Structure 1
Amino acid sequence: MTRALAMVSGGLDSILAAKLIKDQGIDVIGICFRSHFFNEENAKKMVKQIDIPLKVVDFSPAHFEMVKNPKNGYGKNMNPCIDCHAMMMRYCGQLLEELEADFIITGEVLNQRPMSQNRMALDRVKKESGIESKILRPLCAKMLAPTEMEENGLVDREKLMNIQGRSRKVQMELAEQWGIKEYPSPAGGCKLTEPNYSVRLKELLSFNKDPEERELGLLRVGRHFRVTPNAKVISTRTQDEVALLKKYLGKDDTILLVKDFNGSMVVIIGEATEEVISFAAKVAIRYSKGKDEPKVTVKYAKFGEQNHGTIDEVCATDAELDAHIIQ
C-alpha cells in the first residue's frame, strides 16, 4: 500500500493536504516537530479530526542552532521559515525508510506567504531538503510541475488542487465540507513569528549565545526589563502568567511583592544586586495598587525561601521603565 508522511504543523492547510491524500486511498502518517518555539499540541487535535496517527519529532537543539544563524535569513521577525521547512523535510526524509513510506506531503500554498511561499522559496526549500523528488504539495500541486509521485501513478494529479494566494476561502470551504471544525488561526503556532518574542530573543542572544531552555521559556511571560548585562527583571500581567512564570523559576531567582497592595509579581533573573533590587521594587510598585503612594514597602526573597527582606521605594517613572524595557 502506498504510504505518505504528512508534515502536520497544527494549522488548517497541513491537515487539509493530509486529508486530500488520504482520500485517494493512501495511508497517511502525520509528522509533527517540537522545538523551543513550537510544539505538537495543535497537531494532536488536528489529526484526530481526520483519523490519522501522529509521530512527534523533537529537534530542539538542532533547530535552535539553525535559528541563531539561518542560511536564508529571517522573515519579518526572527522566523527562518525557509531554513526551518527545509530542516523539517530533511528529518522527514530520514523517516521514509523507517516508516516504510513512499513520499512526503506538506500544506504549503503557492504565494500564501510572500517571502517563504513564493515559487522561488518553495523551490529552494525542496532543493535544500535533499529529498526534492519525494515532496508533494497537494493544495497547490496543479500550479507546480508534476512530481515523481504523480508521474508514476502513486497520486492522481487530477484530484489535487490549484490553490494560490493569501485568501483562505477555499481552505475554509474544504474544512466545512470535511467536518474539520476546530483549527487555529493562520498566525498561531510559532513563537518566532511574534514581534515581541523575537525582540526578546534577539536581546537575550546578544548577552548569551547559548541560553538554557528555561531562559527561552521565560521570554513568553510578562514584561521584560534589562537592568545589567547579568540581570533581567520580569513583571507579570495576569494570574495565569504568575503560574506560568513559577514553572521556570529556580533557587537563584529573586521574587518581589508589594507588601500592602495587590499587584504584579516581579522576578529578578540573574544577579540581584542592590541596584537591581531597587529597580525591581520600583517596577513592582508601578504595577500595583500602591503606585500613587509616596513610598511603599516591597518584600523580596529567593524563590522557595520563607525568610525575606524589605525595601522602601517609590513608583518607577516612565523614563526609568523606558530606559530598561525590552519591547
Structure 2
Amino acid sequence: MDLLITRPLPQSVVEAAQEHFNVTVRSETSPLSADELRTSLADFDAILPTLRDNYSAEVFADVPNPRAKILANFGVGYNHIDVEAANKAGLMVTNTPGAVTDATADIAMTLILMSCRRAGEGERLVRAGNWDGWHPTQLLGQHVSGKRVGIVGMGRIGQAIARRCHYGFGMAVSYMARSEKDLPYPANAHSDLESLAAEADVLVAAVPGGADTLHLINADTFKAMKPTAHFVNISRGEVVDETALITALQAKDIAGAGLDVYEFEPSVPDALVAMENVTLLPHLGTAALEVREGMGLMAVENLKAFVAGNPLPNRV
C-alpha cells in the first residue's frame, strides 16, 4: 500500500513505516496546498498528515471516490481534519494522544515561568548589550510559588500542568472542565470561565481546538482576570481572540502573556511582537526528538492496525 507522509519526520519513524508501506515523504515543511490535499486523497492508500494540512469538507467533496482510506494524524489535535466529512468519504481518522502530554505540559511551565519572571525581557536586555548589572529593583516580576493556577480544560495535558504546578511549585489549582475530576490534590472546580479567570494568578488554556472552543478565551475572560495575572496558551491559537488579548495587554488589564500558538499561525501580530510583557515561542509544545519519534511511531501503529484489519488504537 502507498503511504504519503506530508512533512519530514524523524528517520526512525520513516523506517518503521517503510516496513509496511511504499512510503513517499514530502520534502516541504509547509502544509499541503489545496491541490496537494486533493491529489493525496486520489493517489495514496494512506496518509500521515499533521497540523495545518487542512482536510476540510470541501476537499473531500472534490474527491468523491478517494483511494485513501485512512488519515493517521501526527499529533493529538486534529481540528484541521473534518472528521465527519472524512468518515462520510470512507476514511478513518486517528491521532496520537498521550505521546505529547508531558512535553506540552513542560512548555506550559516554561511559559508560566518566563512570563511571570520576565525572562524573555531579561534575555533581550542582555543580548542587546543594555544590561548594566544587577540592582534591587531591576525586572521585578511575579513569584510563581504559592500562587493559584487556573486551568481551562482538565484532560491529560491540563492534569499534567496541574501536577507540575502543585507538586513542583506549591501552587493552588483551580480548573474548568466538562466534568468534575477526581484529583490527588485539592482543586477548585468552576462551571464558568469568568469565575475561574477571576480567581487565577496564572490562567492556562489547555483545551482542544475546533468550533466548540473558537474564541473561548475572549474579552470577557481578560476583563475578569486580575491586573497582576498572566495568561498562557499551549492549546490552539484560535481558542483565543487574539485582538482581545492585545487590547487587554495594552490596557494593562492583565500583567503578561506567554504564547506557544497563534490564531493565524505562523503569522504573529506586530502588536504582540512589540510588547515586552509577552513571551512568544514558535509552537515548541512537542519539540523534543523522543517525543516526535513517539508521536510518529504511534501514528505508524495506527496504520499497521489498519492494514491488518484490526481495531485502530487511537481512532477519533
Flag whether TM exceeds 0.5 (same fold): no
TM-score (norm 2): 0.30
TM-score (norm 1): 0.29
Higher relative contact order (CA 8 A, sep 6+): 2
